[in-house]
Structure 1
Amino acid sequence: MSDLLANMKGYLTSIIKNSSYQIWTSIDSANFNMIFSSSLCSSLTYTPPTSLHNGSDSFQKHIAYEEFEEIYLSFPNRYAFVVRIFAKHDWTPQQIKKLSANFSPYVLQKKLERHEHILNVLMKSIKEISLLQDSDYLLTRILENALSVISVADMGVLWMFDSSTEFLLPRAWSGGPNNEIQNMKMKVGEGIIGKTFQHNKSYMYTNLEDIVRDSSTMTDDNIHYLNQSYTFTHIQSIISVPICMEEQTVCVLIIYQNGTTPLLNEEDKELLESFSDQVSIALLNSALFEDVKKQNELLIRRDQIHRTFMNVSLQSKGIEPILTELRRMVTSPVTIVDFVDNKTYGFLKFLDVDTKTAEFHTHFVLHTKACFYTIESHNQKHSVYIQPIHGIDTLLGLVILQTNQEDLSSLDQVALEQSSSVIALEMLKKQTLVDLFYKRTHELFSEYLSCYDTTLLYQKANELNIDTKKHILVALITIRSQADLQLLNLHLHRLVSDIKSVFSLKAPVVYGFDTKVTIVFTLDSYEDHHAIIKQLEDSLSKWRYYNECHVKIGIGSRYSHFTQIEKSYSEAEKAVSYLLSQQQDGCMLYEEIGINRLFINQSKEEVKTFIDEVFVPLKNNHLNDEPLEQTLEAYFDNNRSASLTAKQLHIHVNTLYQRLKKIEDKMNISFTNSEHLLKVQLACYLKKFHYS
């Protein structure tokens, strides 16, 4: 740098000879600083006014004063020099131009130093982005660094868009604004800041009219708070740049310059855009850091939640303690629906689980993921978040949280997810214990059925909690066998649970085994067993509807002594066998089977063969159109009354007798033969009730 000054001084000396002189410089239109003074004039330190060069890129002016003369030289990027000579010389334009050329290397060197400074500041800022975790402090530091390299700027503010309020709010500021600026809320499109955000475009203002025009859309409140936060004296230029993150505008960075002339330029805009990129990186890093931090916190909390639920589960106290812990963790009302025992833990006033069971099953039996669900109740819609409870590919229950998408937190989701796993384990554990109980009950009851010693029967009845002084009635319920054994087992558990809840005092023996539920009812002598049967049918009708499952119910006869349980059980089995042979669902009392008891063990194919063998002679009636088969059926339907049969068939009695004679001839029978009569009547009965 001293060599560059030597060249300038050498040229000056060649022009002004031994005259004293000073050299002053100004960078970024700041006040002039003296960089050289000859010994004879060091006492005169009057600072040249900055207004003379006006920040122009190319400006040369020679002014003569009474005691000295000054030559003003300006260069691009706001560099300016004043040569003050304490003598008067006749300067030609060529000499001034050459003098200016002698200053160019010095200017170039200063530019290099400035660029190096800018690079150092940028590197420092980038380093801070990597090291600093406080995003607010980091953004302020970036803003301060920007103002340090754009030295003509007096003040800067970073505005961030708040999606919840849809306002741009001040996030960081530097250069003097006080806390009043925090009261400002800029709409998208409002003022220079809102315009920059809306159009995602950088703007530079060096004209006061343009500044006033684009600021005129600001609200009175924002103008008031802006003026309260900072004193704008002679605003001259403004640069406003958008900041994007993942291709979406999120912020606006704006700087202001006061003074007498506009000094911000394109280079400053490019610099500010560089810092806006840093802000974007800082925001992205901050978002990523916060996300990682939240994920880490969530994992830690997830582990804590899991350990809490596991500790509760190890106590083997059932589902209620799990629900108690869950309520402590979530922020909204929660309930647990147990499809295994058909129970509900907790309460949601708008939720009638019984009416929603089939709907829930249809939706969640194939959906293992939690989701939001809308429940309608009393013409109102309620939003809930449902976490299915699955075990071995079977829907065991649901955890239902009353909430909406806006209020559901990540911790709520984690708590529901973790609780569902522990609840499933608890349900399966309970189901396993119940299976063992069912197996033991089945073995004990089977021993009871195969026992004929009255003393042993009495002992085993006591083991089964059967009151030996009451009347007994046995009912058997079979569920259609399914490929999914776990689902079949679940249906058995639900059915047994329902029956126990309805007949807790009337049915000492209720258990499920294989595809069958066995029930032993005990009744007082005065009780009507038909009322019990009706209650059982109603309960099972409701259960079939909500569980979408087919059942057959066989009910044995009522007996007065506990030793006759085996007989009632055998009759119930036959009633079920009858329903199976008829391929029917529903309820059948053994006493209502009647003559069909004789055919319970006969297959439909055997019955069909017998009917066809009896009626085949009448089916070959091709010679005329007389309905002999219909006539025969009507004859027995009317208890062999000729007049009633003729009336039903709308024919004369004599015509009926003629048809009956033809039937006898074709079938080679006689209606006076009791054996023939029984065979034909039985075929008509079976055709009507088994084959039709």
Structure 2
Amino acid sequence: MKVGQANDIAVFVQFNQLVAEASDEQSILRLLLDTVDAFIPHVDMAIVYLYDENQKVLRLGAGTGVSVQSLRQLAFKPGESLTGKVFLSKKPYLCLGKHDVKRKMANISPENWKWFREGTYKLDVTSSINVPFLSNGRCLGTFTLNRYSSSIPFHKKDVAIALGLAHQAALAIENVRLHQALAYSDAKETLAQSLHDGGLEHVLTRLEQLVHTPCTIEASVKEDEAIPIIRKRKRLGYLRPRQPLATLSVVDRNILEFAALMLASELEKQYDDYEQGLHRRNCAFQDLLNGDYRSVESLSRAPIYCFVLAGGVSDNIALTRQIETTVQAYFPNGHFSVYEGRYVVLASSCAYIDQLATYLQRHYHLVVGLSRPRMIADVASSYREAVLAAEMKSDAPLVRYQTLGCRRLWPSLDEQTKRDFVIDYLQPLLDLEPDYIATLAALIENGRGARQQTAKQLHIHVNTLYQRVKRIEQVLDISFQNERQWLQLMIAYELYVDGHTETP
């Protein structure tokens, strides 16, 4: 036996051993692509297409020397192009020249041709081997070797080698799929028993053990981060693994999809019960506004706070439930309801309101409006205060009614009256360069006497600030030392800010 032949046998034996030990399809395909160069010289492109049983098309499994991103767009029907012909016939094809290649690819669809040309960098293939991926007589896909850098075509013995390698890889893939099917079947049985024994939490605990990453049920996430939980075309939430979805194995993804399907019926029951309970609480809050306090007797002995979560109530009952769960974590004894398109909470304390508001803004883009403490008999007034605070234009997560000052009065003024006030007391200043209204804003924020602090905030010299103040007083025909005029100017500025989304 020649040395070269002995080396080939050793490599082939090692290849067989490695693919037999591989635990997933991609590892097998990578071994195949990495090994082919040891047997067949001058392979410029190596491509594996696998048959998609659901879509009934051949799609890219793996490739080297090509644009994988472009080739992933391919979807060959059985019988289409070289790939489809090999799959359908289960026989190898050897193309000895570029005209032979083009002839056998003649029935490729325009869409597939576009992506094939992009995926092969628009290079003309001069010779090609295409062999079936056979396992126990079943074709799993095809294995393609292309050459364009050499005018020497592939040889028949190269076809035999490609067939041998493809056959061993196909057998290994068939074994992996069988193992995955058994694991999936066992996982389904385990999860079903978990749901029967302990409900959702038990399922999530068991699921973590099966897919080796914690999983949670979320109301809203990015589509590519989780498996949707759907029942009767209604989205009930998402099953989200902590590990990125794209990094999970096929088996783990299948297990997650089964779990999502199984959880859907249980979640539907829970959400139906929750929706009915929420409806009762909504009605109770309406009764409360009308003077019936029986539903909140625990809150009737001391002053209570009302806070409104503004930003839009979602039709997604799962999201509403998740928001209530968040509120209950901070205010376990709070009364949560939905009224007039707003989330409403009544609580005997506001000790953790800042932390809650920050969390709600970060995760749900909600703004919290907080009322003054009042007895339950004045809950209607508390609700109005909380609504007014929540709907004030503010970037802050929490707006307290007590800190609104004269802005409490704005809702009682019509828009024309507010515009006229701004025009009468502020318009000449608005006609100047933006630096002047920014200077006024800083003076109101810091106090008109805090000239050093204001100059530092504006990054200007204090003398420049004095010149700007003098210019503002001149164009408005006022004095900052006149208390009445300064008050009117501050009110005009607050009205101006309230009417504009961008403040100076």
TM-score, length basis structure 1 = 0.39
Per-residue deviation, residues 364-385 of structure 1 (Å, max 9, x unmatched): 61326xxxxxxxxxxxxxxxxx
The one of 375, 381, 395 aligned to 1:567: 381
Q: 1:199 to 1:567 in 2, by over 3 A?
A: closer
**Corresponding position of 1:398:** 240
Q: How far apart are 1:468 and its partner, in Å? A: 2.8
Asked if 2 retains the 8 angstrom alpha-carbon contact of 1:365 and 1:394, the reply is no
**Corresponding position of 2:361:** 544
For 2:267 and 2:279, the matched residues in 1 are separated by 18
For 1:404 and 1:598, the matched residues in 2 are separated by 53
Q: Does 1:388 align with 2:205?
A: no
For 2:289 and 2:218, the matched residues in 1 are separated by 32
Asked if 2 retains the 8 angstrom alpha-carbon contact of 1:475 and 1:554, the reply is yes
Q: 1:197 to 1:563 in 2, by over 3 A?
A: closer
Q: Which has the larger radius of gyration?
A: 1
Per-residue deviation, residues 148-190 of structure 1 (Å, max 9, x unmatched): xxxxxxxxx999433376799xxxxxxxxxxxxxxxxxxxxxx
Asked if 2 retains the 8 angstrom alpha-carbon contact of 1:333 and 1:402, the reply is no
For 2:488 and 2:280, the matched residues in 1 are separated by 46
- Secondary structure at the aligned position of 1:367 is classed as helix
Per-residue deviation, residues 392-425 of structure 1 (Å, max 9, x unmatched): 56863413469997xx765444323311333355
Alignment of 1:135-284 (within 5 A): 160-163=12-15, 198=39, 284=167
**Corresponding position of 2:54:** none
Q: How far apart are 1:305 and its partner, in Å? A: 4.5
Q: Give aligned-pair identity as a percent.
A: 10
Per-residue deviation, residues 175-212 of structure 1 (Å, max 9, x unmatched): xxxxxxxxxxxxxxxxxxx9x97468xxxxxxxxxxxx
Q: 1:162 to 1:513 in 2, by over 3 A?
A: farther
Asked if 2 retains the 8 angstrom alpha-carbon contact of 1:336 and 1:400, the reply is yes
**Corresponding position of 1:587:** 398
Q: How far apart are 1:282 and its partner, in Å? A: 12
Q: How far apart are 1:479 and its partner, in Å? A: 2.1
Q: How far apart are 1:521 and its partner, in Å? A: 1.3
Q: Does 1:517 align with 2:343?
A: yes
- Secondary structure at the aligned position of 1:474 is classed as strand
Q: 1:443 to 1:565 in 2, by over 3 A?
A: same
Asked if 1 retains the 8 angstrom alpha-carbon contact of 2:425 and 2:489, the reply is no
- Secondary structure at the aligned position of 1:517 is classed as strand
For 2:313 and 2:206, the matched residues in 1 are separated by 38
Unaligned runs of 5+ residues in structure 1 are 1-156, 169-193, 201-243, 251-272, 341-360, 369-386, 524-528, 640-646, 665-671
**Corresponding position of 1:337:** 216
Q: How far apart are 1:428 and its partner, in Å? A: 4.8
Q: 1:601 to 1:432 in 2, by over 3 A?
A: farther
CA RMSD of aligned residues (A): 5.6
Name the structure, 1 or 2, with higher relative contact order (CA <8 Å, separation 6+): 2
Alignment of 1:413-562 (within 5 A): 413-451=253-291, 456-457=292-293, 459-462=294-297, 466-480=298-312, 485-486=315-316, 489-504=317-332, 507-512=333-338, 515-523=341-349, 532=351, 535-545=352-362, 547=363, 549-559=364-374, 561-562=375-376
For 1:656 and 1:499, the matched residues in 2 are separated by 47
Alignment of 1:338-357 (within 5 A): 338-340=217-219
- Name the structure where helix makes up a greater proportion of residues: 2
What is the letter of the counterpart of residue 216 of structure 2? V
Worse-matched range after superposition: 586-595 or 426-435: 426-435
What is the letter of the counterpart of residue 223 of structure 2? L
Q: Does 1:686 align with 2:501?
A: no
Asked if 1 retains the 8 angstrom alpha-carbon contact of 2:366 and 2:397, the reply is yes
Asked if 2 retains the 8 angstrom alpha-carbon contact of 1:335 and 1:400, the reply is yes
For 1:576 and 1:585, the matched residues in 2 are separated by 10
Q: How far apart are 1:686 and its partner, in Å? A: 2.5
Per-residue deviation, residues 520-571 of structure 1 (Å, max 9, x unmatched): 1114xxxxx5xx1xx21223213433x2x43222111113x33233332222
For 2:399 and 2:131, the matched residues in 1 are separated by 72
Asked if 2 retains the 8 angstrom alpha-carbon contact of 1:389 and 1:399, the reply is no
Q: 1:436 to 1:317 in 2, by over 3 A?
A: farther
TM-score, length basis structure 2 = 0.51
Q: How far apart are 1:449 and its partner, in Å? A: 1.2
Q: 1:279 to 1:592 in 2, by over 3 A?
A: closer
- Secondary structure at the aligned position of 1:588 is classed as strand
The one of 224, 227, 237 aligned to 1:367: 224
